[in-house]
Amino acid sequence: MQVTTWFIAKEDEAEAIESIVTTEEHAPEDWTNLELPLIEMELMALSAALRGTEDITDERTSEDPLIFREEDGLIIARVMESFIQALARVKDENVPGLITAWVERIDQEHHAPEELREFLAEMVKFARQAVARRSPVLSLVTF
C-alpha cells in the first residue's frame, strides 16, 4: 500500500527524511508530520476540487522529485505551494461541498466520504501550520 507522509521541512532536509526509510538514522517524529493513506491521484482530485475544476490531471500536487529511489520504494518531493496555500484557506462552511466534489473525482471504493472529511481536516490543520511557519512541505511517498 502506498503511504504519503508530509513533513514541515526545508528541501535541504530531504536526505535526512530519506534516511527514515533507508537507514533509519532519523524517525518521522524528528519533524512535524502527517501520514495519509492517499495516492497522488487522490491528492490531485482534492486539488482539482479546491480549484473548482473537473480535470484532476490539470495540476500536480508535488514538484519534481528531489529524491527518487525505486529500489527502496520512495519518492521525496516538495508539495506545491499553491496546494498548501489552498488547503490552508479552507473554511469550515466550505467543507461539505468540497468533500462532495472530492468524492466525485476519486475511486470511491478506497475511501468513504467521512474518512475523506477526516483526512481533509488533518491536511488543513497541517497546511496552516506550514504557512504559519513559512516553511515548505516535503512529501515522502513509499510504495
19, 12 contact by CB (below 8 A): no
**What domain range includes position 33?**
3-61+74-136
- Residue 69 is assigned to a structural domain of this protein: no
- Residue 97 is assigned to a structural domain of this protein: yes
128, 88 contact by CB (below 8 A): yes
Q: What is the enclosing helix (H) or strand (E) of 118?
A: helix 113-133
Tell me the C-alpha to C-alpha distance, in Å, between residue 55 and each of 3, 10, 80, 89. Answer: 23, 30, 17, 21
- Residue 114 is assigned to a structural domain of this protein: yes
Q: In this structure, what C-alpha cell is assigned to residue 102?
A: 472530492
The string of pLDDT tens digits covering residues 59-85 is: 899 999 999 999 999 999 999 999 999
Task: Return the residue matching grid coordinates 500536480.
Answer: 60
Residues 6+ apart with CB under 8 A from 81: 136
pLDDT band at 58 (very low <50, low <70, confident <90, very high): confident
Q: In this structure, what C-alpha cell is assigned to residue 80?
A: 506545491
- Residue 29 is assigned to a structural domain of this protein: yes
- Residue 86 is assigned to a structural domain of this protein: yes
**For residue 22, which of 14, 11, 31 has the smallest C-alpha distance?**
14
- pLDDT, residue 110, reads 80
- Residue 38 is assigned to a structural domain of this protein: yes
The string of pLDDT tens digits covering residues 22-57 is: 999 999 999 999 999 999 999 999 999 999 999 998
φ/ψ bin of 16: left (φ > 0), alpha (ψ from -120 to 50), beta (otherwise): alpha
- Residue 20 is assigned to a structural domain of this protein: yes
The string of pLDDT tens digits covering residues 82-139 is: 999 999 999 999 999 999 999 999 977 788 999 999 999 999 999 999 999 999 999 9
Task: Report how many domains make up the chain.
Answer: 1
- The pTM score is 0.94
- Residue 141 is assigned to a structural domain of this protein: no
